[in-house]
């Protein structure tokens, strides 16, 4: 059952830069990642949802109610900004209470919201004296306090220490699921999209290339872009592609772990070995000059070995280039 529906949403910036048309159906309580490289239009899409930009065409509906032209203030979408946008002239409690302006007594709600993000008792702290992780949680509490219909997160983890990210990711997902709010978030990192999202929409040049679960994107990428942007991939054209079973004029894509050293297949020489502990990445130069990356057991081959590579699973796409 669709809760949030985007239908043909389009926004034209300059003559050549267009986002959309984007059509996307999101269920109640679902977490959807907007994944794409910079300039792919994912942030524009988030801002269209928040109401900071108005689309040139298309509609956005929540529970059947059209909100396309509704100003942000009346949309009841909560947003967590990339740099959190905490009001520096207000303390933590006042920040969280900002969206509860109409309430006679917002204190109880502020307390609940702060408890939800594990910051009980932080009401009178200044936002400047909080750590990055705490600021992020205040921003989240502030966005959730007015009980919005949809939660939007712009690169929610990009401002955190790398060591903190993984843990925060899990905590954030648990929290959103506990609240049960329908959520969209923007990211350019695959790990983040995989960990946090129920489904992932991959964007490229303003268009949605594919929407699906992490498994589906990895195993059945719909386009060459998705195949190469999500996960590592060897892209082969011409003779090497044909050797792996691709038809004429098609591109073959093989993941490193789907290549195996064996007695048949593409011949080449191991040029480089990068050890990662449980396994190793091997760079193999094929006879045609192509470079292939293979993930295998650390002792599977040595630099300088002449090897043959066979593919366990090959994805093929019509060559657009």
Partner 1 sequence: MTARERGRALAAAALTLLLAWLVLYPILLVGVDAARGDAIGAFARRPGEWQALWASVWISLASVALAAAIGIPLAFLFEWLEFPGRKTLGSLIALPAVLPPFVGVIAFLFLYGESGFVARAVQRLLGLTTPPWRLQGAGAILLVHAYSMYVYFYLFTRAGLAKLDASMLEAAQALGAGPWATLRRVILPLLRPSLAGAALLVFMTALGSFSAPYVFGGGFRVMTTQIVASKLNGELALATVETVALALVAIVALALIRRTEGSDVLVALGKGTAPRRRELRRPATRALATVAGWLFAIVLLLPHLTLILVSLVPYGTWTTETLPPHVSLVNYQRLLAEPERLAPLLNSVWMAAASTAVAIAVALAAGALVRRRLPWPWRSPIETLIALPWALPGTVFAIALAATFGVHQPLALRWVLVGTVVLLPLAYLVRNLPLTGRAILAGFRQIDPALEEAAASLGARRWATFRRVTLPLLKPALMAGGSLAFVAALGDFVTSIVLYTYDNRPISIEIMSSLRVNEIGVAAAFGVILMLVSAAVLGVGARR
**Among candidate residues 51, 49, 41, 35, the one with its CA nearest the CA of residue 19:** 41
d(CA 80, CA 156): 7
Residue of 78, 93, 197, 265 that binds partner 1 (CB under 8 A): 78
3 state SS of 167:
helix
Query: Measured from the CB atom, is 55 or 265 closer to partner 1?
Result: 55
CB count in 10 Å sphere of residue 69: 10
Site mask, partner 1, residues 126-165, x = CB under 8 A? Answer: ----------------xx--x-----x-------------
Residue of 28, 61, 76, 237 that binds partner 1 (CB under 8 A): 76
Residue of 89, 124, 178, 264 that binds partner 1 (CB under 8 A): 89
d(CA 19, CA 255): 30
Please report whether residue 81 would count as binding partner 1 according to CB under 8 A.
Answer: yes
Question: From edge to edge, which strands make up the β-sheet containing 199-204?
Answer: 77-80, 150-154, 182-187, 31-35, 199-204, 207-212
CB of 176 to partner 1, least distance (A): 17
CB of 85 to partner 1, least distance (A): 4
Query: Measured from the CB atom, is 102 or 105 closer to partner 1?
Result: 102
Stretch of residues binding partner 1 (CB under 8 A), selected from 8-16, 24-32, 70-78, 190-198: 70-78
d(CA 67, CA 198): 24
Please report whether residue 250 would count as binding partner 1 according to CB under 8 A.
Answer: no
d(CA 88, CA 99): 16
Q: What is the DSSP string of 89-113?
A: TSBHHHHHHGGGTT-S-THHHHHHH
Query: Measured from the CB atom, is 50 or 314 closer to partner 1?
Result: 50
Site mask, partner 1, residues 40-59, x = CB under 8 A? Answer: ----------xxx-x-----
CB count in 10 Å sphere of residue 313: 11
Please report whether residue 199 would count as binding partner 1 according to CB under 8 A.
Answer: no
- Write out the residues near partner 1 by the rule CB under 8 A: 50-52, 54, 71-79, 81-83, 85, 87-89, 98-99, 101-102, 142-143, 146, 152
């Amino acid at each position: 059952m669709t809760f949030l529906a985007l239908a043909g949403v389009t926004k034209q910036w300059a003559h050549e830069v267009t986002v959309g048309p984007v059509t996307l159906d999101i269920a109640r309580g679902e977490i959807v990642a907007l994944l794409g490289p910079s300039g792919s239009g994912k942030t524009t899409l988030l801002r269209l949802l928040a109401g900071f930009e108005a689309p040139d065409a298309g509609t956005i509906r929540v529970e059947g109610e059209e909100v396309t032209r509704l100003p942000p203030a009346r949309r009841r979408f909560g947003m967590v900004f990339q740099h959190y946008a905490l009001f520096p002239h207000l303390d933590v409690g006042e920040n969280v209470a900002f969206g509860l302006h109409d309430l006679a007594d917002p204190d109880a709600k502020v307390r609940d919201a702060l408890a939800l993000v594990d910051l009980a008792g932080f009401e009178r702290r200044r936002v400047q004296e909080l750590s990055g992780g705490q600021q992020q949680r205040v921003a989240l509490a502030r966005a959730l306090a007015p009980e919005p219909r949809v939660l939007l997160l712009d690169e929610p983890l990009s401002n955190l220490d790398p060591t903190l990210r993984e843990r925060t990711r899990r905590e954030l997902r648990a929290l959103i699921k506990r609240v049960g709010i329908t959520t969209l978030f923007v990211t350019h990192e695959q790990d983040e999209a995989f960990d946090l999202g129920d489904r992932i929409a991959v964007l490229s040049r303003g268009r949605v290339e594919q929407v699906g679960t992490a498994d589906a994107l990895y195993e059945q990428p719909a386009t060459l872009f998705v195949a190469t942007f999500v996960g590592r991939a060897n892209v082969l054209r011409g003779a090497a592609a044909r050797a792996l079973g691709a038809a004429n004029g098609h591109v073959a894509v093989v993941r490193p772990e789907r290549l195996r050293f064996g007695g048949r297949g593409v011949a080449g020489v191991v040029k480089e070995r990068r050890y990662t502990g449980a396994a190793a990445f091997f760079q193999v130069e094929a006879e045609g000059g192509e470079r292939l990356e293979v993930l295998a057991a650390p002792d599977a081959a040595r630099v300088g070995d002449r090897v043959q590579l066979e593919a366990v699973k090959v994805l093929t796409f019509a060559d657009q280039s």
